[in-house]
Structure 1
Amino acid sequence: MSILGLKESQVAPLVRAIAGDEQDRDALWDRFSRSAWTGIAEPGDRVAGTLVAVLGAREALDAVVSRENVEALHGRVGDTVTKEELGQAFERWTPRLQSRTALLALSQAARYGVRLLVPGDTAWPPGMDDLGPHAPLALWLRGNESTLATAGDSIALVGARAATGYGEHVAMEASAGLVDRGYTIVSGAAYGIDGMAHRAALASSGQTIAVLAGGVDRFYPSGHEALLTRIVDAGAVLSELPCGAAPTKWRFLQRNRLIAAMSRATVVLEAGWRSGSLNTAGHAAALGRPLGAVPGPVTSAASAGCHRLIREFDAVCVTNPDEMAELAPLTGLADRAEGALRTTIEGETVEPAGMQEDRVRVVDALSTRSARVVDDIAARAGLSVATVQGVLGAMQLDGGAAERGSGWVRTPPPARG
């Protein structure tokens, strides 16, 4: 029995090291397949999520590795995805079908004491299932499973990286107050509001979960390595990306959907007009989660995003931990709105579409100094070679990329006079 050209004797010791010795043969291959999928498909890939849900992780991976006929595969999957979507997905995934990469991720996970969680595990956050086909195929956990099990009573505190003293003070009071009331704090470990929310939770001897946009073996931002190490000791650090994966702009946007899905409610503490925290708010609204925003001085650009959420997107104005707790009372599950519409904030939706989405991923994969060939860019971006060529052509026309020698580089925008 093998998959991706790997034999059971190569896979079993590594999977058992990160998932426990109790894994039977079928469970072992399912976990390995899901771990491989986290490195093959980009976060939130609907086609991958659909294939795994319908066929199972291993059978879906077998179909991709063997390049199963698209017509036949479509017949097995049904109308949940189109033939065109399947064909495009195969082109995206093929550059990443590497057994060496899958084994390296498992080896790194075992080295750092990382656990691999899959749906059905007791520590799997139930809110993730609300993402449907966009749900993570597996989660890589560094820290305590007991903390992750408290996600059902969690509130996400998010905000701008360039936080003001006012914003950090509010974050500290909010986090400490919610922890005292029995909530777990979820955030993204970024500078500014996120970092303060985590620190205040730890200082109050509470539970906190940090969700990363890259592998849990390489802490990002590096300036928060000490903070994230403390969270590993007392809380949980989580990612849907395998060890070794680098954070990118696209992955940060997709990471935000996990923060919103895992939490009972989301509170934006301070955010500028175009803050990335508004993306998290959009995910929360799309999932029907309660959304709160803290007001700031009307003259402060750092609070313009919060004021916009309150004015235009029906966020609840909250000013203290008691009001935040009212968004998601611990005494019972908060009602979830049915048929919630996807919220668009400053052109960013829960599912950025088409060329805009592809361009974000290609930009992430390009370097400003080292020329990279199209095949390498496709593997880094998780896109087909044809799609990358199309995006590069458009970027070349508007000056965003240039072909140099045997490869492509990203060119910075012209300075504004």
Structure 2
Amino acid sequence: MTGDDERAARAALCGIAEPGDTFLNQIIDHVGASAALEAIRTGRLPADLTATEGEIRRLEHWRIRLRANAPEEDMAVCQEMGIRLVCPGDPEWPTTLDDLQAARPYALWLRGPADLRHHCLRSVAMVGSRAASGYGLRVAAEMASELSERDWTVVSGGALGIDAAAHRGALAADGMTVAVFANGVDVPYPGGNDGLFAEMARRALLISESPPGTPPHRLRFLVRNRVIAALSRGTVIVEAEQRSGALNTAAWARKLGRSLMVVPGQVDSRSSAGCLRLLREDPDSTLVTCSDEVIEMVGRIGADLAQRPSAPVLPRDRLDRLTRGVLEAFPARGAAGPAQLAAKAGMDLPTVNGKLGLLSAGGFIERTPEGWRLTRAAKSRDY
């Protein structure tokens, strides 16, 4: 459990530095969050740490921002809105975030009743295009709903399009879903999803590396993708354009050794161009078409295998070998007598006569003045 001083220091660091700064994490890992904050306040690094000119400039930038930082106000907002701060070492901290190493979050701000660590034990990230097609929205919602019914948590970024469809699909199945924000968890962005976020705050979980009140920042949308990938056992890309941010999440999943899954789209669809490129060029990506295939990738080895799709069982599949042989001896057009059928099937006449009765009762053949012929249904591929 993180001490009060360390917790307060991490809350302050979240407000003055960009998320996942490797230099700041290096200082924290070396001397702790409280000492790191003091180093920023005084402008003096620990004696055994060195820094580049760029890192020294960042240290000065943080020191300036620290003067305007008011972590006690952030904590007051947390008290009012039911927001909590989770730090490394806390029981609710997902240890999978430690895979980010020097890019690990300093802390996370959480809003909602769910336990983050518990629900991330069985979690799948699902991301994609904001300008999603009807096909993409349907696939994301249905797949998320089916995953939720199997007790898998759906993690996404809360954006319009695929992200929102994944969150809504999980909620529709009374499942668990987590949205990773690039802004404060009390800032409903995008505004079109404010109703969704209110429902998630009541039933699921909103999380962010930024303190309450932080507005969205363009670069932070890319930075937060590493958290989406790290929280999950695997990432599913449903739709992505050539320069989609979802491809950045895919890159983090690959870097962290997580399963990378891609839903195929139409070859002439702009919103599927990134997905198709991943499938063509990335040997680590796996094509998935349903929730069973996703679970096979992220579930227990040998225990969560997807059922292989099978062809439909047709009436003729249930016929025994000899009866099927007589049926196959029928001409495609016209009629034939028992002797003709026996010769073509290579069977004796009594056997053929016996099978003709069975085939007639099954609706495969019918008698005509010229002999026996196939029924219209029997000529169909579906019979």
Q: Same fold (TM over 0.5)?
A: yes
Contact 1:158 1:269 in 2 (8 A): yes
Q: How does 1:135-174 map to 2 (within 5 A)?
A: 135-174=104-143
Partner of 2:297: 327
- Whole-angstrom CA distance in 2 between matches of 1:254 and 1:147: 20
Q: CA deviation at 1:271?
A: 0.9
- Whole-angstrom CA distance in 2 between matches of 1:99 and 1:116: 20
Partner of 2:355: none
Which amino acid is the alignment partner of residue 280 of structure 2? Answer: R
Q: CA deviation at 1:104?
A: 2.2
Q: What are the Cα deviations for residues 170-220 of structure 1, in whole angstroms up to 9, with x where unaligned?
A: 101210111122210000111110001000100101110011000111111
SS at match of 1:98: helix
- Whole-angstrom CA distance in 2 between matches of 1:331 and 1:235: 28
Instruction: Say which of 43, 46, 59 aligns to 1:67.
Output: 43
SS at match of 1:91: helix
Which amino acid is the alignment partner of residue 280 of structure 1? Answer: T
Identify unmatched segments of 5+ residues in structure 2: 305-383
Partner of 2:282: 313
Q: CA deviation at 1:100?
A: 4.8
Which amino acid is the alignment partner of residue 119 of structure 2? Answer: T
SS at match of 2:206: strand
Partner of 1:277: 246
Contact 2:16 2:69 in 1 (8 A): no
Instruction: Give the % identical residues.
Output: 43
Q: 1:147 to 1:32 in 2, by over 3 A?
A: closer
Count of matched residue positions in the alignment of Structure 1 and Structure 2: 303
- Whole-angstrom CA distance in 1 between matches of 2:112 and 2:302: 27
- Whole-angstrom CA distance in 2 between matches of 1:234 and 1:333: 30
Which amino acid is the alignment partner of residue 295 of structure 2? Answer: A
Q: 1:204 to 1:145 in 2, by over 3 A?
A: closer
Q: How does 1:97-108 map to 2 (within 5 A)?
A: 97-98=66-67, 100-108=69-77
Q: CA deviation at 1:331?
A: 6.3
Q: How does 1:18-417 map to 2 (within 5 A)?
A: 27-68=3-44, 70=45, 73=46, 75-77=47-49, 82-98=51-67, 100-314=69-283, 315-330=285-300
- Whole-angstrom CA distance in 2 between matches of 1:103 and 1:67: 22
Which amino acid is the alignment partner of residue 149 of structure 1? Answer: H
Contact 1:147 1:208 in 2 (8 A): no
Partner of 2:360: none
- Whole-angstrom CA distance in 1 between matches of 2:300 and 2:153: 11
Q: Between Structure 1 and Structure 2, whose CA radius of gyration is higher? A: 2
Q: What are the Cα deviations for residues 207-256 of structure 1, in whole angstroms up to 9, with x where unaligned?
A: 10011000111111111111011111111100010011111111100011
- Whole-angstrom CA distance in 2 between matches of 1:256 and 1:333: 30
Contact 2:22 2:102 in 1 (8 A): yes
- Whole-angstrom CA distance in 2 between matches of 1:333 and 1:91: 53
Q: What are the Cα deviations for residues 291-322 of structure 1, in whole angstroms up to 9, with x where unaligned?
A: 00000111111111100111112210111101
Partner of 2:331: none
Q: Which has the higher contact order (CA 8 A, sep 6+)?
A: 1
- Whole-angstrom CA distance in 2 between matches of 1:289 and 1:147: 19
Q: CA deviation at 1:101?
A: 2.7
- Whole-angstrom CA distance in 1 between matches of 2:68 and 2:79: 17
Contact 2:157 2:163 in 1 (8 A): yes
- Whole-angstrom CA distance in 2 between matches of 1:83 and 1:169: 49
Q: 1:101 to 1:332 in 2, by over 3 A?
A: farther
Q: What are the Cα deviations for residues 359-415 of structure 1, in whole angstroms up to 9, with x where unaligned?
A: xxxxxxxxxxxxxxxxxxxxxxxxxxxxxxxxxxxxxxxxxxxxxxxxxxxxxxxxx
- Whole-angstrom CA distance in 2 between matches of 1:94 and 1:272: 39
Contact 2:20 2:104 in 1 (8 A): yes
Contact 2:43 2:60 in 1 (8 A): no
Which amino acid is the alignment partner of residue 323 of structure 1? Answer: E
Q: What are the Cα deviations for residues 46-95 of structure 1, in whole angstroms up to 9, with x where unaligned?
A: 01111111100001111111121x5xx2x333xxx634354122123122
Q: What are the Cα deviations for residues 319-341 of structure 1, in whole angstroms up to 9, with x where unaligned?
A: 1101111121146999xxxxxxx
Two-structure CA RMSD over aligned residues (Å): 1.9
Contact 1:124 1:149 in 2 (8 A): no
SS at match of 2:199: helix
Q: 1:209 to 1:333 in 2, by over 3 A?
A: farther
Q: 1:238 to 1:333 in 2, by over 3 A?
A: farther
Contact 1:123 1:145 in 2 (8 A): no
Q: CA deviation at 1:102?
A: 2.1
